[in-house]
Amino acid sequence: MNKIRYTKGLKNSIVIANDVKQSRFSNLNMGLLRSVFLNHTVLVSTLLITLLFSCNRSGNTGSDAIDITENPHLNTITVTRAQFETSGMKLGSLEEKSFARKVKANGFIDVPPERKASVSVKLGGFVKGFTILPGDKVAQGAVLFTLENPDFIQLQQDYLEARAQLSYLKSDYERQKSLADDNIASQKSFLKAESDYKVMQAKYSGLKERLKLLNINTAQLEEGNIESTVKVFAPIGGYISKVNITRGAFVSPNDVAVEIVNTEHMHVELQVFERDIVDIRKGQPITFFLRGTTTHPYRGDVYLVGRTIENDTRTVNIHGHIENEDQLTNVLPGMYVEATIDVATNLRTVLPSEAVVSLEDQYFVLVRVEDNKEGFAFKKQQVTIGEFNNEWTEIINVADFKADDVFLVKGAFNLIVE
**pLDDT per residue as tens digits for the range 176-192:** 888 877 777 677 888 89
pLDDT value of position 27: 38
pLDDT value of position 347: 85
Whether residue 257 contacts residue 120, with contact meaning beta carbons closer than 8 Å, is answered with: yes
The shares of helix, strand and coil residues in the chain, as percent rounded to the nearest 5, are 30, 40, 35
User: How far apart, in whole angstroms, are the C-alpha atoms of residue 290 and residue 92?
Assistant: 41
**pLDDT per residue as tens digits for the range 27-47:** 334 443 344 333 444 333 333
To the nearest 10 degrees (0 to 180), the angle between helices 150-181 and 187-213 is 150
- Which residues lie across from 78 on neighbouring strands? 69, 377
Whether residue 221 contacts residue 160, with contact meaning beta carbons closer than 8 Å, is answered with: yes
> What do you get for the CA distance between the two ends of the chain, in Å?
55
pLDDT value of position 406: 97
User: How far apart, in whole angstroms, are the C-alpha atoms of residue 323 and residue 112?
Assistant: 16
- Burial (Cβ within 10 Å: 0-12, 13-18, ≥19) of residue 412: buried
User: How far apart, in whole angstroms, are the C-alpha atoms of residue 138 and residue 413?
Assistant: 64
User: How far apart, in whole angstroms, are the C-alpha atoms of residue 162 and residue 210?
Assistant: 13
Q: Which residues of 122-154 are buried (b: 16+ CB within 10 A; e: fewer)?
A: ebebebbebebeeeeebeeeeebbbbbbeebee
User: How far apart, in whole angstroms, are the C-alpha atoms of residue 365 and residue 385?
Assistant: 11
Q: What are phi and psi of 390, to 5 degrees?
A: -65, -20
Q: What are phi and psi of 64, to 5 degrees?
A: -85, -15
User: How far apart, in whole angstroms, are the C-alpha atoms of residue 114 and residue 105?
Assistant: 25
Domains, the chain, ranges and CATH?
3-58 (no CATH), 69-92+356-417 (no CATH), 103-111+263-347 (2.40.30.170), 114-261 (2.40.50.100)
Amino acid, res. 396: I
User: How far apart, in whole angstroms, are the C-alpha atoms of residue 233 and residue 214?
Assistant: 10
Indicate the DSSP class of residue 186: -
- Burial (Cβ within 10 Å: 0-12, 13-18, ≥19) of residue 1: exposed
How many helices (H) and strands (E) the chain has is answered by: 6, 25
Q: Which residues of the chain have pLDDT under 70?
A: 1-74, 185
- Total Cβ atoms within 10 A of residue 288: 22
3-state DSSP assignment of residue 165: helix
User: How far apart, in whole angstroms, are the C-alpha atoms of residue 166 and residue 214?
Assistant: 22
pLDDT value of position 314: 94
pLDDT value of position 23: 37
Whether residue 376 contacts residue 78, with contact meaning beta carbons closer than 8 Å, is answered with: yes
For 251-286, give the DSSP string: E-TTS--EEEE--SS-EEEEEEETTTGGG--TT-EE
Indicate the DSSP class of residue 244: -
Whether residue 303 contacts residue 282, with contact meaning beta carbons closer than 8 Å, is answered with: yes
User: How far apart, in whole angstroms, are the C-alpha atoms of residue 24 and residue 246?
Assistant: 125
Reported residue count of the chain is 418
Indicate the DSSP class of residue 241: E
Whole-number average pLDDT of the chain: 83
Cα–Cα separations (whole angstroms), residue 139 to 118, 128, 147, 233, 262:
15, 21, 20, 10, 10
Cα–Cα separations (whole angstroms), residue 81 to 85, 254, 366, 384, 418:
6, 85, 16, 30, 19
Nearest to 79 by CA among 378, 330, 298: 378
